Amino acid sequence: MTATTDVHSGHPLSDSARAVFAVLAAAGSATRPQLAAQSGLSKPTVSSVMTELEAAGLAARSGTAHGGTGRSAAVYRLGPASGSVLAIDLGSTHTEVRGIALDGTVLAVQRTDDDLRPAEAVHAVLGRLPVPGPLRAVVVAVPDVAARQESGGTRPATSRIAVAFEALELPPGVPVHVENNVNCAALAELHDGAARDRHSFAYLQVGYNIGLGIVYGGQVLRGANGAAGEVARLPYPWAEGLRAEHEGLEAYAGARSLVRRAAYAWRPADGDRPETAERLFALAADGHLTARRMVTEHAGEVGRLAAAVTAVLDPGLIVLGGGIGANPQLLPGVNAELERLSWPTKVVCSVLGNSGTVVGATRLAVARGVQNVIGGDQPGIDSAP
């Protein structure tokens, strides 16, 4: 059965029921004593709350837990009326759609790598959702600024992304939040990746595009225009006699420019020229001299960008991500240039790879879905736990 697009159902929940539902969603499954301990409510209150949640279809019994003393306790999970959410990575080269239950369980996944249109991927996931409850929220990660506020949430700030967004053909009436893809990846690193022990760090994405996700005090920093971290717009080149170009840094340090420079540097004796950055890095890993030189030079460029980030933010930790940035071959050169130009800053590669954006969008979608069930604001929706 597919999810409906109704956002609200049933009667408003009591304050205690809201608190317990949030705890149950985070836990996935729990007994009443566990829910009481984690919510700070008394056991009698939790017993009453579970009756309320079961009646609303927001909780259901899933089994029995047996303790060492022979006592047993009912185990609860989210009920069918809890519904589900969508997380969509609307990338420059692909679209990935995930359908997720409010306990974080991934129910269906579809990518557009198999020539599906983005809207077809959305419809395919909606058609495979086993959850009969409503669709609570949609989060769309976009490779651009996402700052325009509307009654149903946020919308893309640029016309190019707005056109791609509309092509998703999202169900009407569902709250939609649009977030920058690099911010989503930074959120994923904060909770599930290389920055799990840090409340402040910078996530530097270097790939087809360049971007920076800034986490300070456990919160993603977005800026007055939603454009914090748009390092592609740093002045470049910045030298006497040269005019800085709009997004010139991204044009020079992105994957397309790297492949183009490699083509210029390639000699007849080097064999077939690499057509992608991935191929260039593979050749460098195999010891190809020209490929290694190009990777080393590019590591220096990324290191200078990291030094600029450090000079402004002093993040303490920089996580390198993206199709180029996450490659460990860059680390020695980045560290050397950063040490030459700035103060000591730890640099590591992302452990989430290309999945970082959709992992972060998933976490954000689940948090917003829970918020839409319990009502009101949920502080720290994108912060550290």
Within this chain, do residues 146 and 44 fall inside the same structural domain, yes or no? no
Last residue of a domain, one of 81, 96, 128: 81
Last residue of a domain, one of 81, 99, 122: 81
pLDDT on residue 6: 43
- pTM of the predicted structure, to 2 decimals: 0.87
Helix (H) or strand (E) holding 333: helix 331-341
In a domain, 6, yes or no: no
Last residue of a domain, one of 32, 62, 81: 81
pLDDT on residue 263: 95
Cβ partners under 8 Å of residue 215, min gap 6: 186, 187, 190, 195, 198, 199, 200, 201, 202, 203, 221
pLDDT on residue 21: 96
pLDDT on residue 1: 35
Domain that holds residue 38: 15-81
Within this chain, do residues 172 and 96 fall inside the same structural domain, yes or no? yes
Within this chain, do residues 200 and 330 fall inside the same structural domain, yes or no? yes
In a domain, 139, yes or no: yes
* Residue whose tokens read 């506020």: 149
User: Per the structure block, which two tokens stand in for 97?
Assistant: 């759609």
In a domain, 141, yes or no: yes
Within this chain, do residues 206 and 116 fall inside the same structural domain, yes or no? no
Within this chain, do residues 199 and 308 fall inside the same structural domain, yes or no? yes
Number of domain units in the chain? 3
**Residue 99 sits in a domain of what CATH number?**
3.30.420.40
Within this chain, do residues 281 and 346 fall inside the same structural domain, yes or no? yes
pLDDT on residue 359: 96
Within this chain, do residues 123 and 89 fall inside the same structural domain, yes or no? yes
In a domain, 257, yes or no: yes
Within this chain, do residues 88 and 68 fall inside the same structural domain, yes or no? no
**Residue 32 sits in a domain of what CATH number?**
1.10.10.10
Within this chain, do residues 317 and 255 fall inside the same structural domain, yes or no? yes
Candidates 26, 39, 193; CA nearest to 104 is 26
User: Per the structure block, which two tokens stand in for 377?
Assistant: 């604001």
Cβ partners under 8 Å of residue 260, min gap 6: none
pLDDT on residue 67: 64
In a domain, 233, yes or no: yes
Within 10 Å of residue 339's Cβ, how many Cβ atoms? 14
DSSP annotation string for 238-293:
-STT-PPPTTHHHHHHSHHHHHHHHHHH--GGG-SPPSSHHHHHHHHHTT-HHHHH
Within this chain, do residues 299 and 253 fall inside the same structural domain, yes or no? yes
Within this chain, do residues 210 and 318 fall inside the same structural domain, yes or no? yes
In a domain, 263, yes or no: yes
Residue spans of the chain under pLDDT 70: 1-11, 67-70, 114-115, 131-132, 147-157, 376-385
Within this chain, do residues 135 and 278 fall inside the same structural domain, yes or no? no
The rounded distance, in Å, linking the Cα atoms of 278 and 331 is: 16
In a domain, 7, yes or no: no
CB environment 165-201: b (16+ within 10 A), e (fewer): beebebbeebbbbbbbbbbbbbbbbbebbbbeebebb
In a domain, 189, yes or no: no
Helix (H) or strand (E) holding 154: strand 153-155
